[in-house]
Structure 1
Amino acid sequence: MVDDIPARMFYAGRRWRVSDMPTRLRESVWAAPLHGGGGLYGWRFQATDEDGGSFVFDVFRTESDWHVHRAYT
C-alpha cells in the first residue's frame, strides 16, 4: 500500500505491480456474506507481473492480511 492505496503484491508465486487506478469495493459487491461485522472492504485493480502478464484482481482485507477473492484475465 502507498498512501492506503494498493501499489504491489505477491500472489501465486509472482510479484505484481498495480498498473491502473484501483477502485475501492464496499460490502455490497461481495458474494459472500459479511461475517463478524467490522466493515469488509477491498479493492479492484489491474496488476502486471514481471513478464508483462496482466490480470484484474478483487482483493479484500481480513483481520491479519489481504485475500485475493477473484482474478480475471
Structure 2
Amino acid sequence: MTETRVEHEATIWMVDDIPVRMFYAGHRWRITDTPTRLRESIWTSPGEPSRGLYGWRFQAVNDTGDVLMFDVYRGADDWHVHHTYT
C-alpha cells in the first residue's frame, strides 16, 4: 500500500449523510465500499489548529478505472482530501 499525503479540496455528494460520490483532481469518483466515519481522528491541516476533524475513509473508483482509498475531512467551508492510498 502506498500512502500519499495531500491537502486538496473535493466536492462530496451524500445520501442519508453518507458519502456516495466525489469530484476530486478533475475526476468523478464513485464510492465502492461502506465508508468508515472518522469522527474521533486528530488530524492537522495547513492553517488550522490541531483538533478533531469530522471525516470519512472510503474506497472509490474514477471513470478511467483508477481505484484509491481516501481519507477526507470537513473543513470550515468545504471537504478536503487528506490522504490517498493505492
Structure with the largest fraction of helix: 1
Instruction: Please give the TM-score of this superposition, normalised by the length of structure 1.
Output: 0.85
Instruction: Please give the TM-score of this superposition, normalised by the length of structure 2.
Output: 0.73
Match of 1:51 in 2: 64
Is 1:30 the equivalent of 2:26? no
SS at match of 1:67: strand
Runs (5+) with no aligned partner, structure 2: 1-13, 45-49
CA distance in 1, matches of 2:42, 2:27: 25
Tell me how large the CA RMSD over aligned residues is.
Answer: 1.2
| Aligned structure 1 segments of 4 or more residues deviating by more than 6 angstroms | none
CA distance in 1, matches of 2:42, 2:19: 19
Displacement of 1:26 in angstroms is 2.0
> Of the two structures, which has the highest relative contact order with CA contacts closer than 8 Å and spacing of 6 or more?
2
Whether contact under 8 Å (2:70, 2:81) holds in the other structure is yes
